Amino acid sequence: MKKSAKSDDRKLFAWLATFLSLIGFVIAIIVRKNDKYVMHYAKQGIVIFILGAILGFIQNVVEIIPFMGALISFAAGVLIFIAWLVSWINALSGKEKEIPVISYWAKRIKL
């Protein structure tokens, strides 16, 4: 029973790290820095946050293009939301799963 509770704590902290993005990343570093599973998802969460911020800036630039700008902006927003949602589901799975592109950059974060 004790191992299951520990596993549930890991899943909860991993989920919080992805759900809360930047704040979750900071919480994970403070509370669970030595937990490889939690940090795997914390790093994915921070990469999604950074990509979302970059795409938000790009969205503001491309929205000046009639129709195509709105379409590109919408597609970028949907892709970030899907990556965020997939990270939540993966964090609750109990296994370290990869998200294309996101995981590539997350692995390069050394703490």
pLDDT of the chain along its 111 residues, tens only? 456 777 789 999 999 999 999 999 999 999 999 999 999 999 999 999 999 999 989 888 888 888 888 898 899 999 999 999 999 999 999 999 999 999 999 999 998
Is residue 8, in this structure, part of any structural domain at all? yes
Range of 88's domain? Answer: 2-106
φ, ψ for residue 53 (rounded to 5)? -65, -45
pLDDT of residue 3: 60
Global pTM exceeds 0.85: yes
d(CA 42, CA 51): 14
Is residue 111, in this structure, part of any structural domain at all? no
Domains: count for the chain: 1
pLDDT of residue 1: 44
Kindly tell me the burial class for residue 18, based on how many C-beta atoms sit within 10 Å of its own C-beta (0-12, 13-18, 19 or more): buried
